[in-house]
Amino acid sequence: MLDRRQVLAALGTTALATLASNPVLAAASIKPDDASALLVIDVQNCFLPGGSLAVKEGEQVVPVINRIAKAFANVVMTQDWHTQGHVSFASVHSGKKPFETIDLPYGKQVLWPDHCVQGTDGAALSKDLSIPQAELIIRKGFHKDVDSYSAFLEADGKTSTGLAGYLKGRKIKRVFVAGLATDFCVAWTALDARKAGFEVYVVEDACRGIDTQGSLAKAWADMAKAGVKRIQSGDIAVSA
């Protein structure tokens, strides 16, 4: 029987070099540079256990995000930031329940429990996030009659949050997206980032989804089609 040393010797240096340089096989092969930014989407109390729109296992993204954030010189966070009586709340549409949909002037809108109302504790970022270098917090969904899952564009498809201009002004070329929820704010942000011309990575294990009416599978399919790269947090090189 060959032992490990003999196997390595038999493989030879060429085979080992191939293993190490193969992005599929090598661990931690992606190194964020100065032109990379981490976008931390909506890690807010309302989406965490005990919150009004709690995402299953939502709290599990926090340590993963804290760890990978160490690899980024540029971090932007977002906050879902609704008015009271926001159009996306089921409570303002008589006879409607959360997770049902309605047609609004800008298209189909899923209705939600009241969540992330401006200035409330539910809208606050998780106190367990530990990303002191984060340089910008973008708030979105603050127009009463328009939702905004995306950190770039409101749901009317035309009102900009200013984030693309900010990132381009900072010479960012690549964005890595993490947070809540995979199938809504993460996916819409990733898709709009592609449309704005960025290279886009979604860090799957740093996200959790809501998954209503097939939304999670559809989100991954839409993202794949748009050229969004699906990676794991272990693919990102984080120095100790």
Question: Which residues bind to Zn ion, rule: CB under 5 A?
Answer: 80
Query: What's the min distance (Å) between Cβ of 99 and Zn ion?
Result: 13
Question: Judged by CB, which is closer to ligand VGL: 112, or 198?
Answer: 112
Query: Which tokens in the block code for residue 63?
Result: 């340590």
The item of ligand VGL, Zn ion, none sharing an interface with residue 46, based on CB under 5 to 8 Å by kind, is none
Q: Cα-atom radius of gyration of the chain, to the nearest Å?
A: 20
Q: Catalytic site residue 235?
A: no
Q: Catalytic site residue 147?
A: no
Among the listed ranges 64-72, 129-137, 155-163, 177-185, the one in contact with ligand VGL (CB under 6 A) is: 177-185
Q: Which of 72, 112, 176, 201 binds ligand VGL (CB under 6 A)?
A: 112
If one asks whether residue 220 binds ligand VGL (CB under 6 A), the answer comes out as: no
If one asks whether residue 59 binds ligand VGL (CB under 6 A), the answer comes out as: no
| Residues 56, 54: Cα–Cα separation, whole Å | 6
Question: Judged by CB, which is closer to ligand VGL: 30, or 111?
Answer: 111
The answer to whether the beta carbons of residues 144 and 168 sit under 8 Å apart is no
Catalytic residue numbers read 42, 140, 185
Q: Which residues bind ligand VGL (CB under 6 A)?
A: 42, 47, 80, 112, 149, 180-181, 184-185
